[in-house]
Amino acid sequence: MIVLSERIKRWYEGKGEEMARTLARLISVPALSPDYGGDGELEKAEVLTGILEDMGLPRPRRYDAPDGRAKGGVRPNLVVELPGSDPALAILTHLDVVPPGDLSAWETDPFKPVIREGRLFGRGSEDNGQGLVASLFAAKAAAELGADRRIILYFVSDEERGSGYGLRFLLKEHPEIFPGDAHYLVPDAGNRRGDLVEVAEKGVLWFRVRVRGRQVHASVPHKGVNALRILARVLDSVDRELHSRFPERDELFRPPTSTFEPTVSSSSSDAPNIVPGEAEAIFDCRLLPGLGGEEVLEAAREAARGLLPEGASLEVEEVNYIPAAPKTPPDSPVVVSLLRALRELRGIEGRVAGIGGSTFASFLRAEGMHAVVWSTIDEMAHQPNEYCVIENLVADSMVMAHMAMQS
């Protein structure tokens, strides 16, 4: 076992600069969803195809999801396969990135990557460029070191906007490309130490609470129905009811309970002297496995009953819902393989856990596949001055290569 780790470490000696250059090349190509005003992922997919050719890796198969808003009318998904024995090691990363946001908060151009103090700065460097480039070099290392395991790399579109043109499209239209017994690794969440092995995710429910009253001048409030005041009472009641009704705990997660957070609010008033006739707020709920979205919605509706004065009406409606997928068993072969690689290569004892965030591993788990989410990151995703630690890029790739070469 020590021999395997040393062989991998020797292969990666001096590779950091080349890996950083590869990542910089990809960052330089914005891949923004048309939902964000971008052209999609086609150009980046074409650049990645050239990188694969330069590295001597197999040419990818392309599965295009039609989208007339995007460049070329498609959202491309690439699959690269290195033949070998099963069960395959399958690594999934995404091509798209989120917009840079407030450019004044960036110290550098988000799409002109800069290396400084061992970090590579640029939008998409951590999310998901680090995992993508790490998987490329892991496949190359495994091939050159004589691994006999089948390796499948998936590079998909649209992860940042729900995966309708990416992984969900592939699972629906091309299920044959996903072996049921493969070891699925999604390097798209993690922590600084690299010991968090994510095997479960909470369900995600967003729901809107909307109150309608009657708008009037604020000097004569008795002639109107203040929707904002009613909404405040409703939100307080809903918040208390949800926490009281659903106190269940699962120590796999942090926090170990379902969470119910009001996050966005607005009203129809655009001046201090107008009593609003309409007001609304949105709850972001992260639900433990076993708790359904409809249960939460019904509890919210019950909590609001009796709080509406005459002349007011209320709506509680779902905005988005992703049910919690089944957990990947902690003793699943892919979990065991990752924990072994961390221990033998990096001396890290990994810890199995669940998270409240959502990755596209949940779509795989919903189809009965065993997937883990893991990477070594500073959690800079979606932030200004996003960066990837080059040392982590190399170290994570070594772990992937180790998983590919385990007997």
Domain boundary residue among 300, 322, 344?
322
8 Å CB contact between 202 and 287: yes
Strands 259-267 and 183-186: unpaired
Pairwise CA distance, residues 213 & 310, whole Å:
9
Q: Which residue in the list 67, 126, 158, 159 is annotated as catalytic?
A: 159
Same domain membership, residue 252 and residue 118: no
- Which pLDDT belongs to residue 407? 80
How high does pLDDT run on average in the chain?
97
To 10 degrees, what angle do helices 16-27 and 42-55 make?
A: 160
Q: Which residue in the list 67, 96, 201, 280 is annotated as catalytic?
A: 96
- Which pLDDT belongs to residue 193? 97
207-236: average pLDDT: 98
242-253: average pLDDT: 97
* Cα 282 from chain centroid (whole Å): 21
Same domain membership, residue 99 and residue 28: yes
Measuring CA to CA, which residue among 51, 284, 58, 17 is closest to residue 152?
58
* Residue 170 in this model has a pLDDT that exceeds 80: yes
- 317 a catalytic residue: no
pLDDT over 90 percentage in the chain: 97
H-only helix segments in 36-166: 42-55, 131-144
Q: Which structural domain range is residue 210 located in?
A: 203-322
* Residue 211 in this model has a pLDDT that exceeds 90: yes
User: What CATH number is associated with residue 211?
Assistant: 3.30.70.360
When divided into structural domains, the chain yields a total of 2
Q: What is the pLDDT of residues 18-72, one digit of tens each?
A: 999 999 999 999 999 999 999 999 999 999 999 999 999 999 999 999 999 999 9
- 159 a catalytic residue: yes
Q: What is the pLDDT of residues 352-388, one digit of tens each?
A: 999 998 899 999 999 999 999 999 999 999 999 999 9
pTM listed for this prediction: 0.90
Same domain membership, residue 354 and residue 229: no
Same domain membership, residue 356 and residue 336: yes
* Residue 1 in this model has a pLDDT that exceeds 70: no
